[in-house]
Structure 1
Amino acid sequence: MEKELLLILDFGAHNNQQVAKMAREAGVYCEVKPYNISEEELNALEPKGIVFIGEEETAEKDAGAAAERIKKSAVHGPRVMELGNQKTEEEVKKFLFDDCGFSGSWTTEAFISDMVEQIRAQVGDRKVLCALSGGVDSSVCAALVHKAVGDQLTCMFVNHGLMRKGEPEMVADIFGKQFNMKLISIDAVDRFLDKLAGVDDPERKRKIIGEEFIRVFEEESAKLGKMDYLVQGTIYPDIIESVSNKGVVKSHHNVGGLPEDIDFELVEPLKWLFKDEVRKVGEALGLPHEQVWRQPFPGPGLGVRVVGAITRQKVEYVRESDAILREEIKNAGLEKSIWQYFTVCPGCRSVGVKDGKRTYEEAISIRAILSSDAMTADVAELPYPLLNKIACRIVAEVDGVNRVMYDVTPKPPATIEWE
């Protein structure tokens, strides 16, 4: 099947994924690139259609000149659509099908089939190591690569001490027992937490966790013999946020945290998919429903939910409070209607009273948001009785915590995670 591409050139739009989502939902494969794309890359991509998207003042200043350069550079003469931030679904579909003639044949099944072929072509008969975190992205990666190369794949789960409650056991059950994959579990809790001791800069924490992951994989894979490839669960929002015309918001664990002297060639089968598309692929591959639809979890784990320097005690505050939050959200029947919810230890203490005695303990913040792709997010309006119940349980059951707050800031201006 001929691969048709819609190219979306970003002039700095905060919602640069809008048209991309519309196109993907219409069965048209697309990619978002900076508007100053090189002539060589443009012609290598061979787009069938091109869209400019950006703030109106930016588009008025730069879009015309960029459009002329693109039209002259594109060897196959694709149709070009110029627009500001807002465009209706009807207008986008008219451009895709009436003006450009896209077939609309890009589907989940087509993606899996194409990616299985690409993985087999890249890997050949060599061995593959999967960085299995237990999150949705790495889990779908593992299932997809396993479908492509079978026992050439070894999954390695590293317990860095920054997982949610019960997750190491869940990983062993799904991938070791249900899928019968080659699974190696490494206890590296002390190693990671010792490396992170005293580090309070969020970017530095991400870099340390990312590099330490790679070092563990290198050391452990050496015990297995030569491992040529490393699978990573990078998804498209990671790339878009890490490389944009407005600068890096934050480096992502799967994008900016890799050391330059990595000993593996990367396999990133999901790097062109949005989160909802990753879930569809996971379901099609037969992963358990509860695993596919579990909440997004950052690569650095609870390390970016402890603001400032990480301590074992603060990680436990987050782990235990998060377990209470998830239990109560599920009991309230809201787990499918809220896209992501978690707790954060913001690193501040306050005066309180427990059992008639003065306390000076940590605060916990609750974050619950609504989103479809992590690019933008609204705050979930949790019922007050539920918030009150969660807060009461946290201060009663988590020793060392005496205050609970609710974060009501959307994205933008805030990011979803605190770090």
Structure 2
Amino acid sequence: MKKSDTIIVLDYGSQYTQLIARRVREMKVYSEILPWDADVATLLAASPRGVILSGGPSSVRDEEAPSMDPRLLESGIPILGICYGMQVLAQRLGGRVEKGCRAEYGRTRVSLRKSPLFEGLPGELTVWMSHWDQVAELPADAAIIAQSESGIPAGFALPERGIYAIQFHPEVAHTVGGQEILSNFLFRVCRCEPTWDLGEWVTSMTEEIRRKVGNGRVVCGLSGGVDSSVAALLTSRAIGDRLECIFVDNGLLRRNEAAEVLEAYKTLGLKVHFVDASARFLDALAGVVEPERKRKIIGEVFVRVFEEKAEDVGGAEWLLQGTLYPDVIESGHKGKGAAVIKTHHNVGGLPEVMRLAVLEPLRDLFKDEVRKIGALLGLPERILERHPFPGPGLAVRCLGEITPERLDVLRGADAIFLEAIRNAGLYRKIWQAFCVLLPVRSVGVMGDVRTYAEVAVLRAVEAQDGMTADWYRLPEDLVDAVSRRICNEIPGINRVVMDVTGKPPATIEWE
């Protein structure tokens, strides 16, 4: 893989760190993420064209706050500090950071001054802020290049040293012109060449899998989704028939999903073994209502099923998983100071002691990158375009206690919702759509008879990568038809509501 032009992203614990790396890759520049306290010699050995300092949840005013090695400032490598990264730069360069009179969160207007970072942009932008601390005194010789509407410095620069800092987040979709700001840093400041592409990544990763696995055998848990399917095709290319695929019915799948998935895999030339472990999963989940406990149980049972089946099919040494960057981010496994949002089945849900080593070839990629790789590998469109489906399945959409009866209610409502979306031609326009069943009962009336049943939630979002999302504005007549059908056709539900919350502040899934 060509890495002549590399951008290093130093991770200070922001939930957006990998999103910065993704934005860089979108512009065909290779990016790597290192922890904020990575050895400078290691960093310089990558010969980066530039370094980006991410945001983070800490305050630079705290004694043990993440900082930066001053040798990086002396290296001559262009640096861009974002949010917390701006405050680290200000402090290290001799400026002063203090707690502001008020926080700035969400959309904010900023005025821009002439700078290579803002070339081609208007004089004002709507940007995404997320901070409380502020730069009260600039470093010597630094110039303000952006200011918020409240008069707070929103950016400064020492252009002769290639150092730039902005208080807002250019990597998120909410910042107007954010991609242009990053592009200006890459191509005007760092002088990068757009030479990195996913085709080279496929070749490089295929070789890496072949080297890592050696003569060993790999077992893969196929789910029917994009991630596990791409991971399986890629690994199959590397080691051939030493890959054994297992499709587990964990009792938490959607209606008719097991049969549809098995039919789809017949065309891919993969060896697929079917295991019906639904009773085992549901027994283990009986009476459990706490979300993290659900995920841990599912991860534990999932791996044990794999280990047992792996012995049956030839004693594999590796467990292949379709873990992606967002899984790693939200599980807080990407660096010191990262906040755990929730445990992902592919990451934190694994038991501490396993007989299988974990193989995760996609863990540095985002969903859109995985879809592009799937297309390169010839993955059928019906799998390629499938909405993301969580590893724990309906367990994180059936809130409260999980029972076979409540799962059947949820499956029925979800099937009606997805059918309506497909019939309206909206499926490919929506990032993710599904129903949630709440352990909340409300009074209703059907045919002059009082009912006391549970509540279904319609959730549909639009997103580019799942890191941020906005709720999708479904047509009113579609929502009306879905609501009436669910209440009329699905016993156990007498009320339908719609989730109109973005991410942030919510996550896409409810648990």
Query: Whole-Å Cα distance in 2 between the matches of residues 63 and 36 of structure 1?
Result: 11
Distance 1:191 1:18, change over 3 A: closer
How many percent identity over aligned positions? 46
Query: Whole-Å Cα distance in 2 between the matches of residues 415 and 361 of structure 1?
Result: 26
Q: Point out the more displaced range, 33-42 or 231-240.
A: 33-42
Q: Which runs of 5+ in 2 are unaligned?
A: 82-164, 171-177
Q: How many residues align?
A: 415
* Matched letter for residue 168 of structure 2: N
Deviation at residue 47 of structure 1 after TM alignment: 4.2
> Could you say which residue in structure 1 is the equivalent of 2:79?
80
Q: CA RMSD, aligned part only?
A: 2.4
Give the 3-state SS of the residue equivalent to 1:387 in structure 2: helix
Question: Following superposition of structure 1 onto structure 2, how do residues 342-353 of structure 1 map, counting pairs within 5 Å?
Answer: 342-353=434-445
* Matched letter for residue 203 of structure 1: E
Question: Following superposition of structure 1 onto structure 2, how do residues 25-40 of structure 1 map, counting pairs within 5 Å?
Answer: 25-37=26-38
> Could you say which residue in structure 1 is the equivalent of 2:113?
none
> Could you say which residue in structure 1 is the equivalent of 2:114?
none
**Structure with higher strand content:** 2
**Structure with higher helix content:** 1
Query: Whole-Å Cα distance in 2 between the matches of residues 415 and 190 of structure 1?
Result: 29
Question: Following superposition of structure 1 onto structure 2, how do residues 267-416 of structure 1 map, counting pairs within 5 Å?
Answer: 267-416=359-508
Give the 3-state SS of the residue equivalent to 2:364 in structure 1: coil
> Could you say which residue in structure 1 is the equivalent of 2:269?
180
The question of whether the paired residues in 2 share the 8 Å contact of 1:53 and 1:59 is answered with: no
> Could you say which residue in structure 2 is the equivalent of 1:49?
50
The question of whether the paired residues in 2 share the 8 Å contact of 1:342 and 1:367 is answered with: yes
Q: Point out the more displaced range, 369-378 or 185-194.
A: 369-378
Deviation at residue 400 of structure 1 after TM alignment: 1.2
Query: Whole-Å Cα distance in 1 between the matches of residues 288 and 57 of structure 2?
Result: 41
Query: Whole-Å Cα distance in 2 between the matches of residues 126 and 57 of structure 1?
Result: 43
Deviation at residue 278 of structure 1 after TM alignment: 0.7
Task: Answer yes or no: is 1:248 the counterpart of 2:340.
Answer: yes
Distance 1:34 1:249, change over 3 A: farther
Q: How does the TM-score come out when normalised to structure 1?
A: 0.92
2:314 corresponds, among 225, 246, 258, to: 225
1:129 corresponds, among 188, 208, 219, to: 219
Task: Answer yes or no: is 1:208 the counterpart of 2:297.
Answer: yes
Q: Which runs of 5+ in 1 are unaligned?
A: none
Give the 3-state SS of the residue equivalent to 2:485 in structure 1: helix
Query: Whole-Å Cα distance in 1 between the matches of residues 294 and 35 of structure 2?
Result: 28
Q: How does the TM-score come out when normalised to structure 2?
A: 0.76
The question of whether the paired residues in 1 share the 8 Å contact of 2:417 and 2:482 is answered with: yes
1:262 corresponds, among 354, 358, 375, to: 354
1:112 corresponds, among 191, 202, 208, to: 202
Deviations along 1:240-287, whole A, 9 cap, x unmatched?
222263510111111101112111111111101011111111111111
Query: Whole-Å Cα distance in 2 between the matches of residues 14 and 232 of structure 1?
Result: 22
1:158 corresponds, among 222, 226, 248, to: 248
**Rg larger for:** 2
* Matched letter for residue 198 of structure 1: G
> Could you say which residue in structure 1 is the equivalent of 2:68?
66
Query: Whole-Å Cα distance in 2 between the matches of residues 92 and 60 of structure 1?
Result: 27
* Matched letter for residue 86 of structure 1: H
The question of whether the paired residues in 2 share the 8 Å contact of 1:51 and 1:80 is answered with: yes
Distance 1:229 1:394, change over 3 A: same
Query: Whole-Å Cα distance in 2 between the matches of residues 126 and 64 of structure 1?
Result: 41
Deviations along 1:77-134, whole A, 9 cap, x unmatched?
7432223333433332233234434332221211111111111111122211111111
> Could you say which residue in structure 2 is the equivalent of 1:22?
23
Deviation at residue 40 of structure 1 after TM alignment: 7.7
Deviation at residue 28 of structure 1 after TM alignment: 1.4
Query: Whole-Å Cα distance in 1 between the matches of residues 430 and 486 of structure 2?
Result: 20
Give the 3-state SS of the residue equivalent to 1:324 in structure 2: helix
Deviation at residue 336 of structure 1 after TM alignment: 1.4
* Matched letter for residue 294 of structure 1: R
* Matched letter for residue 149 of structure 1: I
Q: Point out the more displaced range, 372-381 or 189-198.
A: 372-381
Distance 1:17 1:127, change over 3 A: closer
Deviations along 1:175-209, whole A, 9 cap, x unmatched?
2x201211100000100000000011100000000
Give the 3-state SS of the residue equivalent to 1:333 in structure 2: coil
Deviation at residue 224 of structure 1 after TM alignment: 1.9
Give the 3-state SS of the residue equivalent to 1:223 in structure 2: helix
The question of whether the paired residues in 1 share the 8 Å contact of 2:18 and 2:325 is answered with: no
Query: Whole-Å Cα distance in 2 between the matches of residues 168 and 179 of structure 1?
Result: 16
Give the 3-state SS of the residue equivalent to 2:68 in structure 1: helix
Give the 3-state SS of the residue equivalent to 2:280 in structure 1: helix
Give the 3-state SS of the residue equivalent to 1:263 in structure 2: coil
* Matched letter for residue 182 of structure 2: V
Query: Whole-Å Cα distance in 1 between the matches of residues 244 and 343 of structure 2?
Result: 27
Deviations along 1:209-229, whole A, 9 cap, x unmatched?
011110001111111232111
